Amino acid sequence: MIGRLNHVAIAVPDLDAAIILYRDTLGADVGAPQDEPDHGVTVVFITLPNTKIELLYPLGDNSPIKGFLDKNPSGGIHHICYEVDDILVARDHLLASGARVLGDGNPKTGAHGKPVLFLHPKDFNGTLVELEQV
């Protein structure tokens, strides 16, 4: 059911330092920061040959990653995103399998303008999983 690894999202406490780390130390193709007010994050997309890395930095007072950074002050992997062909078919299969879908269970528009869902980390070995319909 799941396809390619679309991205790995890493929450960072210092966006400028993380950009320098990926661009200069790791030599990656690092994009410009984009504010995503609907998601409470500033995102930096890093394009690798086979997938993407997304740096997440809190935007606003109610950012969903603020609590994560409080628990992980030096940052850390926040979620991984797998591609699916049909997000509603994927959701229904997961629910029938006993997995929990976060929120109201309906897809939202993700950072790439595509439908996304998040799955409960306790059902996936402690990893927050995002599904994106591509």
Instruction: Name the segment binding Co ion (CB under 5 A); options: 1-9, 35-43, 58-66, 117-125.
Output: 1-9
Is residue 36 annotated as part of the catalytic site, yes or no? no
Tokens of 80: 């991984």
Instruction: Name the segment binding Co ion (CB under 5 A); options: 5-13, 30-38, 39-47, 101-109.
Output: 5-13
Q: Please, what is the minimum distance in Å from the beta carbon of residue 5 to Co ion?
A: 11
By CB under 5 A, residue 41 contacts Co ion? no
Q: Please, what is the minimum distance in Å from the beta carbon of residue 54 to Co ion?
A: 6
Decide: residue 51, CB within 10 A, 0-12 exposed, 13-18 middle, 19+ buried. middle
Q: Using CB under 5 A, which residues numbered 114 to 133 contact Co ion?
A: 130
Q: Please, what is the minimum distance in Å from the beta carbon of residue 38 to Co ion?
A: 13
| CA–CA separation, 80 and 54 (whole Å) | 10
By CB under 5 A, residue 83 contacts Co ion? no
Torsion of CA 117, 99, 97, 1, to 10 degrees: 40
By CB under 5 A, residue 81 contacts Co ion? yes
| CA–CA separation, 69 and 76 (whole Å) | 8
Decide: residue 134, CB within 10 A, 0-12 exposed, 13-18 middle, 19+ buried. middle
| CA–CA separation, 55 and 43 (whole Å) | 6
Catalytic site positions: 130
Binding site for Co ion (CB under 5 A): 9, 81, 130
